[in-house]
Structure 1
Amino acid sequence: MKRIILSIAVTSLLFVSCQNAQKSQNISENKIVKSNITDEQLMDKVQKDALKYFWDYAEPNSMLGRERYHEDNIYPDNDKHVITTGGSGFGLATILVGVERGFVSRKEAVKRLTTMMDFLAKADRHKGAWSHWINGETGKTVPFGKKDNGGDLVETAFLTTGIIQVREYFKNGNAEEKALAKKCDELWKGIQWNWYTKGGEKVLYWHWSPEYQWEMNFPLEGYNECLITYILAASSPTYSIDAETYEKGWTRNGTYLSDNEKYGLPMYVKHNGAEEYGGPLFWAQYSYIGLDPTNLSDKLIKNYFDLNKNQVLIDYKYCVENPKHWKGYGPNYWGLTAGYSRNKDGSVGYDAHFPQNDHGVITSTAALSSFPYTPKESMDFLRFMYSKPEFIGSAGPYDATSIHYNNWTTPRYLAIDQGTIAPMIENYRTGFLWKLFMNAPEIQQGLKKLDFKSEKYNIK
């Protein structure tokens, strides 16, 4: 996946080691919880903390999610104004959770969300799709890599999920809310999903650049985090793909199915490049901020919830087994996914962690965003993290930690990681965001087109 393939390139941007430089700073009430705090109160707290990333630390002009927020204030040049498309989509969902939970006012949220939609309408678009990174001051594309300087269909899909959820939440509201919903609707309908079939091939492609055209040449084939891209492309009322593109492209004509098991748990699909244990846990999260996997099926998969739950449990059981003997790994300290990492020299890097690429670094979002699948195991992790004040910052648990390396952490957050925490916990608690997305009329039609079924949402 792009996050794996480009991890070396991203690492080169992340330069300086901060080690534990800020551990003694910001020791505030945010880091201290009483031992008798209830599960509900603790979920409230971590959701509210995660919201700060997108509410308090948003890019100040666009109000969208910055690629990263560093409490140590160490950034690459001009990085403070780089916004991330996919992470901003998760941020939209996070803000809706904030409104629903009463963490922010509905009126203030509408004002801010309107600013975001106005910015996205004027920002660079490439056949309707946004780039991976955008300059929050100018709206211009910021290259993610030399040839990755155009449309990024997968990041656009993550953003679009949030846009549709915002539309659905406010579409029956007051005049300002209806105006916001209309802006969301226009943005969604302007994305030319079918352009990204490279002239009608029966597969979607990740990238297109006005300068480099299709040179990135990355077809979206399962299984990884990209399922939602096909769902949205099939659901588009303006630039839709057909079911054959999903079947031949995503499922590889059904050849992505797998009979593999790990720890007695069926994997159901071949995880790209990670067939033994499964891939990073964001594969069970990013597409499912809006897509409800509960008893969801298609022609090949009987229950997407079981697919995701088993991937998370395999990751959990691997960490408990701990074959590499990392200090700290166990039932209350687990979870491997992409995020900040610790280089061999102790400096801060980036890596896509999964059992076959395990370096002793736990990424907080892995367990926290798995609440729908593993509520007990995720709660054990959540309680443990808030008992370790050195691992907690102003926006909740830091992105990456390692007990093995003397409680190493970095006082940094990434939008793409922080943004899934509040939404997935809320989906576990109430199904709030799942209901918004799954009940959108176009999504219902798109799922039916691809022969998905869900009794819960009357999709037959």
Structure 2
Amino acid sequence: MKSHLFLFVFLSFFNSCSSSTPEGNSEGTPLPTTPTTPVAVLTDEQAMDQVQKDAVKYFWDYAETNSKLARERYLTEDPGFEENIVTTGGSGFGLMSIIVGVERGFVNRSEAVSRLTTAMTFLENADRFHGAWPHWIDGKTGHVIPFGTKDNGGDIVETSFLCQGLLIVREYFKNGNTPEKALASKADNLWKGVEWNWYTKGENAMYWHWSPNYGWEMNFKLEGYNECLITYILGASSIAHAIPAVAYHEAWARNGAIVNGATQYGLPVIFNYNGATGNVGPLFWAQYSYLGLDPSQLTDKYANYWELTQNHSKIINKYCIANPKQWNGYSEKCWGLTASYTRNPDGTTGYTAHQPLNDTGVITPTAALSAFPFTPVESMKFLHYLYDEKKSTYVGIAGPYDAFSPHYNWVTPGYLAIDQGTIAPMIENHRTGLLWKLFMNAPEVKQGLLNLGFHSGKYGF
């Protein structure tokens, strides 16, 4: 204590002497300075414009060259890696990202119509399994690329992400000029061709996969809560191939057992998150189904969906600020846990679903950025952190890199379609509600939601 007091007195004396005016010079002697160029801090609107524009580039500048759909991944250090692998769900997110690009003037409207028409034609001729597309498609041939040995057929969940985009394309262009109306018709026919009821295999449930070689052997029942809500909603919305409403209640809602009364950081968790009972899962569960599905004022007998998605986002934010594992770099401006590339303790890289029960010290930009509708203040802090402070490190040719870790001084210089694809749509939903309005006003969607017992004060049903 005495040494600290002495140091304080000494420094005070030194500073007073240093600032005194030299004898004979009443103006004093200025210290030499090195001119610096100040960093231009973006306004909130400029920052949102920039990250949306950057994220759209992934689906415009770096699309698979033949199909014009989304590549599974793009590695800046190896651009040719897996360049022919098209991802079905990521392509759905890409369709919505391009709509945002058109609306914001980032891409030319007529060029977008031409490119989207090429994509629709490709999807018409690609492998389908009772109307559902596989997880991966060869962008050159249209044939299935197995996602796993037995996962070589239809993937109804990835198909639902794609169909969310198809319906938005249809709604956006249906009243346009002749090429736009033709594009809307193509999107409509593709969506209508999915045999959702096949993927119940005759039960009161939906199943993720079907293979022409292995049938239902993967046997992955869709039970809540995770990212698959949109699959049940679109299944119930189909005109020719609808699933029974009882499948939603018995399987997805687990006969009511989906509801959970736990709280985290003072906020109700509301649902049982698969594998994380009493806690929340990765943030993509609050995003993939909600690119088109508007949770504001949306309710059914199990939840208020705005409270559900907002609480999920806020809990992840509060968890990162509390930082129970004491990772360097986590803060109120550096947060967000979801599925992405990751860094393992031994220095190798992989892929994992980051969440409070699986926190590896890795931040995934899409988590906070795609939570903008639910946590606008918290997400804006992260956006400015990326673009005002860390742009040279964490932002690349198509927006924020997939994942980084301040703790390990690590960043992956690449992108995944499913992560990059939610950024522009969800920020747009925060700004204008564009994609929400398009999807929720589709007549089949309204009827499907009603069939399942949903009500929306915002859309009047």
Mark yes or no: TM-score above 0.5.
Answer: yes
Q: 1:67 aligns with which of 62, 67, 72?
A: 72
The CA deviation at 1:74 is 6.5
Equivalent position SS for 1:340: strand
Alpha-carbon distance between aligned partners in 2 of 1:337 and 1:202, rounded to the nearest angstrom? 30
- Residue matched to 2:275: 273
- Residue matched to 1:28: none
Alpha-carbon distance between aligned partners in 2 of 1:221 and 1:276, rounded to the nearest angstrom? 17
Equivalent position SS for 1:139: coil
Please give the per-residue CA displacement for 1:151-197, whole angstroms capped at 9, x wherever unaligned.
00000000000000000000011110010011011101100000001
Q: 1:168 aligns with which of 151, 155, 171?
A: 171
- Residue matched to 1:125: 128
Q: 1:401 aligns with which of 400, 404, 409?
A: 404
The CA deviation at 1:299 is 1.7
What amino acid does structure 1 have at the position aligned with 2:373? P
The CA deviation at 1:75 is 6.5
Of 441-450 and 341-350, deviating more is: 341-350
Indicate whether 1:158 and 2:157 are aligned.
Answer: no
What amino acid does structure 2 have at the position aligned with 1:186? N
Please give the per-residue CA displacement for 1:386-426, whole angstroms capped at 9, x wherever unaligned.
111111101111100000012x1011000000000000000
Please give the per-residue CA displacement for 1:176-230, whole angstroms capped at 9, x wherever unaligned.
00100110111011000000011x2000000000000000100000000000000
Indicate whether 1:46 and 2:48 are aligned.
Answer: no
Equivalent position SS for 1:80: coil
- Residue matched to 2:420: 418
Please give the per-residue CA displacement for 1:330-379, whole angstroms capped at 9, x wherever unaligned.
10001000011112332321111101100100001000000000001101
Equivalent position SS for 1:305: helix
Equivalent position SS for 1:456: coil
Cα root mean square deviation, aligned: 1.2
What amino acid does structure 1 have at the position aligned with 2:50? K
- Provide structure 2 residue ranges, at least 5 long, that are not aligned to the other structure: 1-36
Alpha-carbon distance between aligned partners in 2 of 1:151 and 1:128, rounded to the nearest angstrom? 8
- TM-score of the two chains, using structure 1 as the length reference: 0.91
What amino acid does structure 1 have at the position aligned with 2:58? Y
Q: 1:84 aligns with which of 66, 81, 87?
A: 87
What amino acid does structure 1 have at the position aligned with 2:56? L
Alpha-carbon distance between aligned partners in 2 of 1:33 and 1:193, rounded to the nearest angstrom? 56
- Residue matched to 2:312: 311
The CA deviation at 1:449 is 0.8
What amino acid does structure 2 have at the position aligned with 1:347? T
> Structure 1's 213 and 345: CA in aligned 2 closer, same or farther, altered over 3 A?
same
What amino acid does structure 1 have at the position aligned with 2:343? R
Equivalent position SS for 2:298: coil
- Residue matched to 1:218: 220
Within-5 A mapping of 1:55-454: 55-73=60-78, 79-198=82-201, 200-301=202-303, 303-386=304-387, 387-388=389-390, 389-406=392-409, 408-454=410-456
Equivalent position SS for 2:415: strand
Alpha-carbon distance between aligned partners in 2 of 1:187 and 1:33, rounded to the nearest angstrom? 52
Alignment check: 8 A CA contact 1:50 1:419 kept: yes
Alpha-carbon distance between aligned partners in 2 of 1:351 and 1:177, rounded to the nearest angstrom? 40
Alpha-carbon distance between aligned partners in 2 of 1:111 and 1:174, rounded to the nearest angstrom? 13
Within-5 A mapping of 1:13-28: none
Instruction: Compare relative contact order (CA 8 Å, sep 6+) and give the higher one, 1 or 2.
Output: 1
% identity of equivalent residues = 64
- Provide structure 1 residue ranges, at least 5 long, that are not aligned to the other structure: 1-31
Please give the per-residue CA displacement for 1:39-66, whole angstroms capped at 9, x wherever unaligned.
0110000000000000000000000000
The CA deviation at 1:73 is 0.7
- Deviating runs (4+, > 3 A) in structure 1? 32-36
> Structure 1's 34 and 439: CA in aligned 2 closer, same or farther, altered over 3 A?
farther
Of 337-346 and 205-214, deviating more is: 337-346
Larger Rg: 2
Alpha-carbon distance between aligned partners in 2 of 1:274 and 1:141, rounded to the nearest angstrom? 33
Alignment check: 8 A CA contact 2:42 2:384 kept: no
The CA deviation at 1:300 is 1.7
Equivalent position SS for 1:253: helix
Count the aligned residue pairs.
423
Alignment check: 8 A CA contact 1:277 1:315 kept: no
Please give the per-residue CA displacement for 1:55-94, whole angstroms capped at 9, x wherever unaligned.
0000000000000011111765xx1100100000000000
Please give the per-residue CA displacement for 1:126-172, whole angstroms capped at 9, x wherever unaligned.
00000000000000000111111110000000000000000000001
Alpha-carbon distance between aligned partners in 1 of 2:155 and 2:362, rounded to the nearest angstrom? 29
> Structure 1's 33 and 260: CA in aligned 2 closer, same or farther, altered over 3 A?
farther
Alpha-carbon distance between aligned partners in 1 of 2:358 and 2:457, rounded to the nearest angstrom? 38
What amino acid does structure 1 have at the position aligned with 2:383? L
Alpha-carbon distance between aligned partners in 1 of 2:242 and 2:79, rounded to the nearest angstrom? 43
Alignment check: 8 A CA contact 2:174 2:180 kept: yes
> Structure 1's 385 and 266: CA in aligned 2 closer, same or farther, altered over 3 A?
same
Alpha-carbon distance between aligned partners in 2 of 1:313 and 1:35, rounded to the nearest angstrom? 29
Alignment check: 8 A CA contact 2:282 2:353 kept: yes
What amino acid does structure 1 have at the position aligned with 2:263? E
